[in-house]
Structure 1
Amino acid sequence: MDKWIYGFDKKNHPFHHLHIRNYMEQDFNRLIEIQKEAFPPPFPSKLLWDESQLREHINIFPDGCLCIEVEGVVAGSMTAMRTNVKDELDHTWDEITAEGTIRTHDEIGKDLYVVDICVDPSYRSLGLGRQLTQAMYETVIHLQLNRLVGGGRMPGYHKYADELSPAQYVNAVLQGELHDPILTFLFKAGRSPVRPIKNYIEDEESCHYGLLTEWKNPFK
């Protein structure tokens, strides 16, 4: 992918040149730096990218390896792989992504599965996550796949786990009664909830749950 667009920022300079492209080996150090900034403790450090994982990504499925530049500076990335997800069956992030290596990528899989999305916090006012997500929707259409699907963290859930079930928490976010930094973003970006998955990822803030979400290809 090679896409040039404008990003609007109310806080600073109103318009910025944005460039969405496939990430390459020379981007690895910057991508790892962004992950450390975006996912501070208590997020498990072992879930952050390392160079070997990133190298596997670009070797196995380069179409699923996107980054976004702001005025020439890499400010975020999104990684996806092809697979077939059975919504009624539980899975963990480790299982479906082969611990982030995407060795489980299926060349004929009909679902594009989101492995990770990450944006440098200092650039978040530009809506880069939404731009990356839109680019992945375009990839779904280009490859004639059924949908974009993935498990989203629920980092606000630990505050309400004593009073709400995971499904009730998701519904409260959908109704606008609660705000969750990840789920609210996913819903605004066009994703629909499928169901919460227990023990999806090692994440105390989410009480180890993940919400399976999808965006269906409107042309299928």
Structure 2
Amino acid sequence: MDKWIYGYDKQRSVFNHLHIRNYEPKDFNKLIEIQMKAFPPPFPSDLWWTEEQLENQIQTFEDGCICIEVDGEVAGSMTTMITTLHDDNLDHRWDDITANGTIKTHESNGNTLYVVDLCVNPEFRSIGLGKQLTQAMYETVVHLKLERLVGGARMPNYYVYENELTAEEYVNQVIKAEIKDPVVSFLLKAGRSPIKPVKDYLEDAESCNYGLLTEWRNPFYKEVEPE
């Protein structure tokens, strides 16, 4: 993927030159640095990318490995893989479905583009880089003629409400804009629809180990009839 666009930084009132492309080994150190900035403790440090994971990703499914540059500086990335998901087999753990982030479980003949990770340097979040990366992956879903994009989202404000709301009730209040969650609220604005919160999805104290499955369905998808 190679896409050139412009982004407007509201805080600085300037336009930025944005470039979306596939990430390469030369980017690994920067991508790991961004992960450390974007997911500080109490997020588990052992869930930050390693060079081995990143190498496995680009070797397995290069089309699903993209980064975004702001005026030539890598400022975020998004990693996806293809898997098979149906509404009756949705419960899973992140580390199981992604093979601990190596995406060795990638299925080229699957029906779903699965989001392994979306990460943006906090210093550049005012430009809308996450939305640009997400939009690029919607285009990938259409290009590859897949049924949908699915991802498990963190719910980083849920720990504040854990004793008074179930995970489902928390998500419903975020949908109604009665509670703001930085991740879930962003995904809703980016066109994703909630499916269900999954218990023990990820080791994440802030999310109380929940992950909210969300999806974007390909409006052009046509199911192939069996011969």
Which residue number corresponds to residue 15 of structure 2?
15
**Matched residue, 2:132:** 131
User: In the TM superposition, what are the counterparts of 1:1-220 in structure 2 within 5 Å?
Assistant: 1-89=1-89, 90-220=91-221
Q: Contact 1:115–1:150 at 8 Å: present in 2 too?
A: yes
Asked if structure 2 preserves the Cα contact closer than 8 Å seen for 1:151 and 1:213, the reply is yes
How far residue 14 of structure 1 moved from its aligned partner, in angstroms, is: 2.0
Any idea what SS the aligned residue of 1:206 has? coil
Counterpart-to-counterpart distance in 2, 1:87 and 1:206? 23
Measure, in 1, the Cα distance between the counterparts of 2:118 and 2:217: 19
1:110 Cα deviation after fit: 1.1
SS state of the match for residue 177, structure 1? coil
**Percent of aligned pairs with the same residue?**
64
The aligned amino acid for 1:9 is D
The CA distance in 1 between the partners of 2:172 and 2:13, in whole Å, is 36
Q: Secondary structure at the match of 1:106?
A: coil
Equivalent pair of 1:60/1:105 in contact (CA under 8 Å): yes
State how far apart, in whole Å, the 2-side matches of 1:185 and 1:66 are: 19
Q: Secondary structure at the match of 2:10?
A: coil
Shift of 1:11: 1.1
Q: TM-score, normalised by structure 2?
A: 0.96
1:195: how far off?
0.5
CA displacement, residues 106-147 of structure 1 (integer Å, 9 cap, x when unaligned):
011110000000000000000000000000000000000001
> Match for residue 224 of structure 2?
none
Measured in 1, the distance between the counterparts of 2:7 and 2:40 equals 26
* Matched letter for residue 28 of structure 2: F
Amino acid at match of 1:200: Y
CA contact (8 A) 1:75 1:119 kept: yes
User: How big is the alpha-carbon RMSD for the aligned residues of Structure 1 and Structure 2?
Assistant: 0.7
The 1-side partners of 2:126 and 2:193 are apart by 23
TM-score of the two chains, using structure 1 as the length reference: 0.99
Partner letter of residue 81 of structure 2? M
1:153–1:211 CA contact under 8 A, matched in 2: yes
2:10, 2:76 → 1: CA distance?
19
Counterpart residue type for residue 80 of structure 1: T
Q: Residue type matched to 1:25 in 2?
A: P
Structure 1, gaps ≥5 residues long: none
* Partner SS, residue 182 of structure 1: helix
Deviation of 1:88 (Å)? 3.4
CA displacement at 1:87 relative to structure 2: 3.3
Aligned residues between the structures: 220
Judge conservation of contact 1:87–1:194 (CA < 8 Å) in 2: no
| Cα distance between partner residues in 1 of 2:13 and 2:22 | 26
